[in-house]
Structure 1
Amino acid sequence: MKIVATTISPQNRNSVFISLLLIFIFCFSPLPAKSIHPITDVQVRNNKLQCYTDIDSGLWGSQCKTSMIARENCALRCLSPSCYELIYESDPLEEGEKDFIRSQEYKYCMHKLSLGESLEGVKGAFGH
C-alpha cells in the first residue's frame, strides 16, 4: 500500500474552506418548518415583555420612547415584524385608538406565522 501526501495551496485551501462552509450552512441551518403547536398567549406575553425591555433600554431607538403609543407600535413591530408590516405599518396606532379588529388580525397573523402557514387572507379576516 502506498500513501501519498499532498499539500494544499492557499487558493485550494480557500476553496475547501468555502465548500465546507456552504455544506455546513445548507445541512445545519434551521429551515422554517410547519409547527403543530401554535404560539400561546403566554409566549406572546413573555415575548412582548422582552420587547418592552429592549425598547426601554434604547435598543429600538429614541423614537420608540417618545410616547406610550410610539412604544406600543415599536413593541408590535418587535414582536412580529411581518405581522406589523401587514396589519399596522400603513396605518400605525394613534393616541387613544382602540382598534379591536386589527388587534384580532394581528393575533391571527402571529398564530398563522407560528404554524408556518401563509399570511394570505389575514388582513380583512375580521370584517375590516
Structure 2
Amino acid sequence: MSRNYNHAALVLLLLLASSNFILSVFAKSRSPITDSEIKQKKTECYADIDSGLWGGQCKSSSIAKENCALKCLSPACYELIYESDPLEEGEKDFIRSQEFKYCMHKLSLGESLEGVRGTFNY
C-alpha cells in the first residue's frame, strides 16, 4: 500500500511540476505558440497517456484518450472549451478545435482568455 501511495504521490508531483513549468514558459514567452509546437506537445501527451501516467480511464477508448490529451495539452483551455461537454465518440467539432487553438495562442502570449469561447461560432 505504501509503495503505491509513494508512486501516486510521485506521479502527482511530476504532473504539477510539468504543468507549472509549461505555465511559466507560456507566461514568459510572449511569442505565439506555433502549430508545430502544439503538435509536438500533443505527441508528448499521447506518450504520457500510453505510459499510464494519466490512468486507465484515459486509455479506455480513443475518444477518452483524445479528451485526456487535450487536457494534458492545456488544462486551462480544456476547462474553458471542453470540460462541460467533452468530445464524444465520432464527434468532429471544428469550431471548438479552433477555439482551443486560439485559447492556447492567447495563453502563450500571456493574454486573458475572456471571450475565447464563442469566438468562432458562425
- TM-score calculated relative to the size of structure 2: 0.77
> Please, what is the CA RMSD of the aligned residues?
1.7
Task: Look up the match of 2:100.
Answer: 106
1:50 partnered with 2:44: yes
Gap runs ≥5 in structure 2: 1-23
Instruction: Report the Cα offset of residue 33 of structure 1.
Output: 4.0
Which structure is larger by alpha-carbon Rg, 1 or 2?
1
Task: Look up the match of 2:79.
Answer: 85
Task: Look up the match of 1:118.
Answer: 112
Q: CA 1:95/1:31 → structure 2, altered by over 3 Å: closer, same or farther? A: closer
Task: Look up the match of 2:13.
Answer: none
In 1, Cα distance between equivalents of 2:26 and 2:103: 16
Deviations 1:58-114 (A, max 9, x none): 000000000000000000000000000000000000000000000000000000000
Contact 1:55–1:75 (CA under 8 A) maintained in structure 2: yes
Task: State the one-letter code of the partner of 1:88.
Answer: Y
Task: Look up the match of 1:41.
Answer: 35
Gap runs ≥5 in structure 1: 1-29
Contact 2:107–2:113 (CA under 8 A) maintained in structure 1: yes
In 2, Cα distance between equivalents of 1:126 and 1:115: 19
Task: Look up the match of 2:89.
Answer: 95
Instruction: Report the Cα offset of residue 57 of structure 1.
Output: 0.3
- TM-score calculated relative to the size of structure 1: 0.73
Instruction: Report the Cα offset of residue 127 of structure 1.
Output: 1.2
Contact 1:34–1:117 (CA under 8 A) maintained in structure 2: no
Identity of aligned residues (%): 75
In 1, Cα distance between equivalents of 2:77 and 2:30: 20
In 1, Cα distance between equivalents of 2:100 and 2:92: 13
Contact 2:26–2:108 (CA under 8 A) maintained in structure 1: no
Aligned residue pair count: 99
